[in-house]
Amino acid sequence: MADGFKIYTKGGDKGETSLLGGTRVAKSHDRVEAYGSLDELNSFIGLLRDREIAARYREVLIRVQECLFISEALIARDPEVPTRELPLLSEEDITLLEKEIDAMNEELPPLTSFILPGGHAIVSECHIARTICRRAERALIRLSLNSPVDDIIICFLNRLSDYLFVLARKTGKDLGATETPWIVKNNS
């Protein structure tokens, strides 16, 4: 790395960054917030993937990370400036999550109440990833109010949140963790 790419450019030292296409925007711009949230989610899923979980879950999480990188790139481009062709998400990416959700759900008891996140560190990490996913989804929806966002990205995040919830439950079952229901107590 001695004679090539430097990780620092100093271009963001005054609170701006470049979108794909070269447009400079504030680092607090809705577009930057949205792809930053996707990046945070991607990083946290990498941590989850590094845990002692079933090989199948790791395979799916790698595909999820690839889809998140695609989404990040699509959101990081300036929609007003032509850029090189980027990969796209597909309906198959959403279908994969739905099939995985259905397969895991077949092995789980039905939900009869809300459950409290926890029971095992890995289960908690699945729930944290789920909440980061929901925040990223909200950031994309906020961005979509003023700028085009491909609907499939929002749909993918919505399904991914569902997947992470079911993964938390299934991983908890695999690990023998206790699933704690939320019981509403009457204050009278």
Under the banding of pLDDT at 50, 70 and 90, the label for residue 1 is very low
**Angle subtended at Cα 9 by Cα 8 and Cα 12, rounded to the nearest 5 degrees:** 100
Specify the amino acid at residue 110: P
| HEC-encoded secondary structure of the chain | CCCCCCCCCCCCCCCEEECECCCEEECCCHHHHHHHHHHHHHHHHHHHHCCCCCHHHHHHHHHHHHHHHHHHHHHHECCCCCCCCCCCCCHHHHHHHHHHHHHHHCCCCCCCCCEECCCCHHHHHHHHHHHHHHHHHHHHHHHHCCCCCCHHHHHHHHHHHHHHHHHHHHHHHHHCCCCEECCCCCCC
Structure tokens at 168: 């938390």
Tell me the pTM: 0.88
Higher pLDDT, 15 or 162: 162
pLDDT over 90 percentage in the chain: 68
pLDDT (tens digit per residue) in 56-86: 999 999 999 999 999 999 988 877 767 778 8
- Whose tokens are 């993918």? That residue is 156
pLDDT higher than threshold 50 for residue 171 = yes
* Mean of all residue pLDDT scores within the chain: 89
Under the banding of pLDDT at 50, 70 and 90, the label for residue 13 is low
Beta bridge partners of 26: 16
Sequence-ordered list of residues with C-beta below 8 angstroms from that of 133, at least 6 positions apart, any chain:
41, 157, 160, 161, 164
pLDDT (tens digit per residue) in 30-57: 887 898 999 999 999 999 999 999 999 9
Q: Which residue ranges form the domains of the chain, and what is each CATH number? A: 18-78+88-177 (1.20.1200.10)
Q: What is the pLDDT of residue 147?
A: 92
Q: What is the pLDDT of residue 104?
A: 98
* Arithmetic mean of pLDDT, 88-96: 96
